[in-house]
Chains A and B, each alone.
Chain A
Amino acid sequence: MSATLFEYVLRIGDDSLILGHRLSEWCGRGPILEEDIAMTNIALDLVGQATNLYDYAAEIEGKGRNADQLAFLRFDREYKNLLLVEQPNGDFGMTMMRQFLFDAFRKLFFESLEQSSDHQLRAIASKSLKETKYHLRHSSEWVIRLGDGTEESKIRVQEALDTLWRYTNELFYQDDIDQELIQNGIAPDLNHLRKDWENLVSNVLNEATLEIPNNNWQHQGGRKGFHSEHLGKILAELQYMQRAYPNMEW
């Protein structure tokens, strides 16, 4: 039971860490100062979520590892984040589309996780849900503004959607780890979230005058540690200090 729960919590933590890390790459480069602040705010929330989740995961594992060791010292095959969150930032449209698709899922996910039989996950879900609602409002408004803005913005954000759509099915990925936890009421069944996610997403995309891509060929692998080429490079930066200066306190 511990091993399954540990794995499960890592998945959620890794999603938050890698996405927060990606967003932090925008620092000082946003399209306007107010957006620099907004994106850094979101990145900070995500890193905070990751910290809470890794703290809990370390406790579950009970092998004396701490949150930092989990965050900075695993090998790439051991990171279980979605492929979606490791995709490059691209332009602002790509970043907002990636954020929107993820936030829409996270809002529904945390709402369900608030009913978990695990009280620590309930607490994490409550706090994260508040933040996620802000994130979702921000990203969905931007998708709409860019989709229904100028010719150029529509082209760019449609392209973003076309590029990222293939990573959305993985949001609902479940395997025997989830099954076990669904059984004892710890994890929500992600299949129950799919319809609501599709409705939320299509409402926003409609208002944004964007089209869901015809080609529905989907990619996955992140949850099992099989990533895109991007994660390795993210980890090379993320882990640098801990690898170059092993066993030191910062």
Chain B
Amino acid sequence: MSKKEWPLWEVFIRSKAGLNHKHVGSLRAADATMAIENARDVYTRRSEGISIWVVPSNQVTASDPSDADAFYEPAHSKVYRHPTFYDVPDGISHM
């Protein structure tokens, strides 16, 4: 179904040789190629020698928050409680 929004991608940038990649934010793109190019435009203004990683947000696994006493079941979770990470069957409205 192509009417859906473009997926969310997390962006990681290594701004200089010798540094780690750092998480800088997210953006929407239809595919990985577009995600990299958009990341370059938005987060680096096309500076040279920069390394960019993009990962679909729903592919990121996150640990529990460091609070030992979590209100909910300890489990590795999605990186945010985001509505579009959860596939809803076609035909469901208002969601």
- Tell whether A34 pairs with B2 under 8 Å between CB atoms, given A134-B46, A141-B33: no
Q: Which of chain A's residues have a CB closer than 8 A to the CB of B30?
A: 145
In angstroms, Cα B40 to Cα A37, docked, is 11
Let me know if B38 and A41 touch, CB within 8 A: no
Q: Which of chain B's residues have a CB closer than 8 A to the CB of A141?
A: 33-34, 37
- Tell whether A138 pairs with B37 under 8 Å between CB atoms, given A34-B42, A41-B46: yes
Residue with the highest number of chain A CB atoms closer than 10 Å, among B30, B38, B41: B41
Q: Which of chain B's residues have a CB closer than 8 A to the CB of A33?
A: 28
Q: How many residue pairs between the two chains, A and B, have CB atoms under 8 Å in the bound complex? A: 27
- Tell whether A37 pairs with B37 under 8 Å between CB atoms, given A32-B6, A145-B30, A150-B2: no
B residues whose Cβ falls under 8 Å from a Cβ of A? 2, 6, 27-30, 33-34, 37-38, 41-42, 45-46
Within the complex, the shortest CB–CB distance from A26 to chain B, in Å, comes to 14
In angstroms, Cα B38 to Cα A138, docked, is 10
Partner of B38, one of A34, A134, A137: A34
The residue of chain A having its C-beta at the shortest distance from the C-beta of B48 within the complex is A130
Let me know if A32 and B28 touch, CB within 8 A: yes
Q: Place the interface of chain A in its size category.
A: 10 to 19
Q: Which of chain A's residues have a CB closer than 8 A to the CB of B28?
A: 32-34
Tell whether A38 is near chain B: CB-to-CB under 8 Å: yes
Q: Which of chain B's residues have a CB closer than 8 A to the CB of A145?
A: 30
- Tell whether A38 pairs with B2 under 8 Å between CB atoms, given A134-B46, A141-B33: no
Within the complex, the shortest CB–CB distance from A33 to chain B, in Å, comes to 8
Q: Which of chain A's residues have a CB closer than 8 A to the CB of B42?
A: 34, 37
Let me know if A41 and B41 touch, CB within 8 A: yes
In angstroms, Cα B45 to Cα A164, docked, is 31
The residue of chain A having its C-beta at the shortest distance from the C-beta of B30 within the complex is A145
Q: Which of chain A's residues have a CB closer than 8 A to the CB of B41?
A: 34, 37-38, 41
Q: Which of chain A's residues have a CB closer than 8 A to the CB of B46?
A: 41, 134
Let me know if A38 and B6 touch, CB within 8 A: no
In angstroms, Cα B14 to Cα A9, docked, is 39
In angstroms, Cα B31 to Cα A145, docked, is 10
Let me know if A34 and B27 touch, CB within 8 A: yes
In angstroms, Cα B29 to Cα A138, docked, is 13
Q: List 13 A-B contacts (CB under 8 A).
A: A32-B28, A34-B28, A34-B29, A34-B34, A34-B41, A38-B37, A38-B38, A41-B45, A41-B46, A137-B37, A138-B37, A145-B30, A150-B2
- 5 closest residue pairs by CB, A with B: A34-B38, A37-B41, A38-B41, A41-B41, A37-B42
The residue of chain B having its C-beta at the shortest distance from the C-beta of A38 within the complex is B41
